[in-house]
Structure 1
């Protein structure tokens, strides 16, 4: 039921700062800009609406990337570090190779992941602060490729953690 004082069609005023209807400016992330725009352009409505630019939420907004946003420790802070390679079974006949510890040697995980994806022509993603997941079993190739690409990492700095593999064992 429509009340008698409301006329249709409704005319909605939009904020020039956040582009939302004026009643929703109090929920935007730019309250100060909304208050300033409202006082400049619609001073008669500025007193009616409650936009407190000083009020901030205690909640932290989630950043893109989830758990991968924390910065890892630099080399030397936690002692000697190693690059670890591990095979993990994903599903029936699928394996993924996990590479950890590259950031301790100054290698960016995103750059390394893109390099691995192009080199092996496969999917590759950064799954943690210092963990790269490569789709497929490329552990043997990585022992030669990592020291060749990044000279600060030697063969002694790479450790094989083994892991589960779905490769069928040959019968003797």
Structure 2
């Protein structure tokens, strides 16, 4: 069966659209738009001004208002819970978890890199929420040597700079006190 879109002679006449649907549709379709949110009235319930839209419907589109409200009431009666839940924009919120209290401890060690060469390893700065990349850059500038982040909580500085590192760290980050920082002496360097 031809539709109004395919046959211009059928425009304005009621056309049956298929075997499964018993409802007839008249073409061209007229879609009522809400005067408040400017959306088709079926979509007003998804806007923030739904109550204002309902008031506008009562005055300007009373037949569609009763149809939509009755359909909504039927949907509510079919729900097992009886309450229609609306999801807020952004989905379900993540529950805030308490951060585990991590022991604030910074260690400084010296490791042999060969017969006479050493590197200084400082670990534990992330427990004090210090950015490791920025800290490595500062150490490299301060001690005129190479410095890099070598682990998830470890910075390696080329050279034996233990003597001045502890004072520099305490000067740069005052929250690192003598109780928090510890020099653990010589350490074996791990092979990767």
Normalised by the length of structure 1, the TM-score is 0.49
Normalised by the length of structure 2, the TM-score is 0.44
